[in-house]
Amino acid sequence: MEISTDQRIAERLKLLRNERQWSLDDLAQRSTVSRATLSRLENGDVSPTTNVLGKLCAAFGLTLSRLMHMVEDDFTPLITRNSQPQWHDENSGFKRRSVSPPAQMLAGEVLECELAPDTSLSYDNPPRPGLEHHLMLVEGRLEVTIEGICHAMVAGDCLRYQLTGASLFKTADNSSARYFLFIV
């Protein structure tokens, strides 16, 4: 029987917490995610949302992609489109395809992301301060707010930044957005 991605995420979250010798209360305080939610996540009773995973990754000092790589396949040089790991947050409408997953020997990674119309994703803290992003909007419109500065993007625009604080990704009521995110 194959283990689902949500089950592998649950196992990895518990392992990360135990490696640091943190109690559920310790992690709840560091991540601002309730102890009850953390318990349900680690037991695989609920699927994590993008927002919750973002908070947990910040507490652990990991990018979301790095966490997902920990629960996905091993490194291979060629990743065909059909074999690129995907993840979908049903609550927010966020879709993520790991085009070039993180690897031990490589510094960067590439994600293809989609946000449904009228969607907001916010992250309180970066997973690692100073993380470099290059966001290329392929379709739609997207507002990206980095540390209080809003950047209105249209297809073809590229936003380059280093994360040191909060960020917000927002689509308009009638427009979805598809973009590539290069993380270094």
Per-residue pLDDT averaged across 18-37, rounded?
93
Are 51 and 90 contained in the same domain?
no
- Indicate whether 60 and 147 sit together in one domain: no
User: Vertex 25, ends 23 and 28: CA angle to 5°?
Assistant: 115
Q: Is the pLDDT of residue 74 over 70?
A: no
Judge if 34 and 50 occupy the same domain: yes
| 175 and 102 in a common domain | yes
Considering the domain architecture, whether residues 63 and 99 belong to the same structural domain is answered as no
Structure tokens at 146: 């980095």
Same domain, 65 and 91: no
* pLDDT for residue 105: 59
Which among 69, 98, 124 is the end of a domain? 69
Q: What is the pLDDT of residues 134-162, one digit of tens each?
A: 999 999 999 999 989 999 999 999 999 99
Is residue 73 scored above 70 in pLDDT?
A: no
Are 63 and 89 within one domain? no
Q: In the listed set 29, 53, 69, which residue is the last one of a domain according to the structure?
A: 69
Verify that 82 and 160 share a domain, yes or no.
yes
Report how far residue 175's alpha carbon sits from residue 117's, in angstroms, rounded to the nearest whole number.
5
The answer to whether residues 61 and 120 belong to one domain is no
**CATH number of the CATH domain containing 155:** 2.60.120.10
Domain span at residue 17? 5-69
Point out the domain boundary residue: 22, 44, 69: 69
Q: Say yes or no: 64 and 81 in one domain.
A: no
CATH code of 48's domain:
1.10.260.40
pLDDT band at 2 (very low <50, low <70, confident <90, very high): low
Q: How far apart are CA 28 and CA 59, in angstroms?
A: 9
State whether 129 and 50 are in the same domain. no
Task: Using alpha carbons, select from 100, 119, 122 the residue that is nearest to residue 111.
Answer: 100
- What domain count does the chain have? 2
Task: Give, as one character, the DSSP assignment of residue 138.
Answer: E
Tell me what the pLDDT averaged over the chain comes to.
88
Whether 112 and 51 share a structural domain: no
pLDDT tens digits for 166-181? Answer: 999 999 888 899 999 9
How many whole angstroms separate alpha carbon 40 and alpha carbon 26? 16
Model confidence over 11-25: pLDDT tens digits?
Answer: 889 988 988 899 999
